[in-house]
């Protein structure tokens, strides 16, 4: 069993994908073993949720509804198999889609412990393009903020991952007044609901590997550092080695410390560790 007492600096990662999303690689157990090797005390699987699209749309970037049972069974089996080495949680990364909220409640009934919000489209994937592509326009940035704030205030999410996703196709000098307003609104909603912002290590890794995404956005994080809002690091692991990479977590921790923001290393579900 997990020991009753853990060091105060316990580290959890709650943003982990599986190959079921069609753009991640590795066996489920390999992610667990990488997390143990890296010294994580808690690992949350949060693959991209399947949606039962009413239009019959078939996504190429998330698990299919028929794969969900296997995902749930696999994570539960790993939880039991590795229970003496690491605590494992069963979650999903989810867009906020009001028309499909009944599906999210059904997922709770099926054993999903937590949701993290990753708003990859401004509405359903059935009829919306990727958020970052849309957000080259300021009006879309404000739409993104509207959706994120509504989702945050729903109380369904443990945190918002890559909140600066709207900067993915922008440069720091493109951090416009609309971007500032969006950042203000998202952070204020997080403060209201007492949930953290995620500092995303997949984005950090893209910079280390010289193929940079627009997030983490220096302009965004400089701007929101004025707020008293906690930050959690999410590996956003799409391959097992993302959990053991020797640089990315230190880069993120140093940056958060430089900003003077409060870093939290676990979600409330692990407060008993």
Assign 9 a pLDDT band (cuts: 50, 70, 90). Answer: low
Question: Is the pLDDT assigned to residue 2 strictly greater than 60?
Answer: no
Nearest of 24, 30, 21, 114 to residue 78 by alpha carbon:
30
User: Torsion angle, CA of 175/177/180/186, rounded to 10 degrees?
Assistant: -120
Q: pTM for the full model?
A: 0.95
Cα separation of 35 and 249, whole Å? 13
pLDDT per residue as tens digits for the range 28-78: 999 999 999 999 999 999 999 999 999 999 999 999 999 999 999 999 999
Q: How far apart are the C-alpha atoms of 250 and 262, rounded to whole Å?
A: 15
Q: Which structure tokens are listed for 215?
A: 């997030």
Q: Please give the class, per CATH, of domain 12-270.
A: alpha beta
Asked if pLDDT for residue 6 goes beyond 60, the answer is: no
Burial (Cβ within 10 Å: 0-12, 13-18, ≥19) of residue 47: buried
Determine the pLDDT at residue 273. 83
What are the sequence ranges of the domains in the chain? 12-270
Per-residue pLDDT tens digits for 161-214 = 999 999 999 999 999 999 999 999 999 999 999 999 999 999 999 999 999 999
Question: Alpha helix (H) ranges present in the chain?
Answer: 28-38, 68-81, 101-109, 131-134, 138-153, 177-193, 201-208, 218-224, 241-244, 248-259
């Amino acid at each position: 069993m997990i020991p009753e007492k853990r060091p105060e600096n316990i580290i959890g990662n709650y943003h982990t994908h599986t190959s079921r999303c069609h753009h991640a690689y590795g066996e489920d157990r390999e992610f667990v073993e990488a997390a143990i090797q890296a010294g994580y005390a808690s690992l949350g699987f949060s693959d991209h949720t399947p949606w039962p699209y009413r239009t019959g749309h078939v996504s190429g970037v998330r698990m299919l509804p028929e794969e969900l049972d296997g995902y749930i069974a696999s994570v539960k089996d790993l939880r039991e198999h590795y229970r003496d080495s690491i605590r494992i949680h069963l979650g999903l990364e989810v867009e906020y889609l009001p028309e499909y909220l009944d599906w999210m409640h059904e997922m709770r009934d099926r054993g999903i412990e937590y949701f993290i919000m990753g708003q990859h489209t401004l509405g359903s994937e059935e009829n919306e393009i990727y958020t970052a592509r849309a957000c080259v326009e300021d009006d879309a940035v404000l739409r993104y903020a509207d959706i994120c704030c509504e989702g945050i205030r729903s109380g369904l999410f443990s945190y918002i991952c890559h909140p600066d996703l709207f900067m993915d196709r922008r440069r720091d000098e493109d951090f416009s007044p609309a971007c500032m307003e969006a950042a203000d609104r998202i952070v204020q909603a997080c403060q209201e609901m007492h949930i953290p912002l995620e500092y995303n290590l997949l984005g950090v890794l893209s910079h280390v590997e010289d193929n940079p995404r627009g997030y983490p956005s220096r302009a965004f994080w400089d701007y929101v550092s004025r707020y008293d809002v906690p930050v959690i690091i999410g590996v956003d692991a799409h391959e097992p080695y993302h959990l053991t990479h020797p640089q990315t977590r230190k880069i993120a921790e140093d940056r958060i410390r430089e900003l003077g923001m409060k870093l939290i290393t676990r979600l409330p579900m692990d407060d008993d560790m």
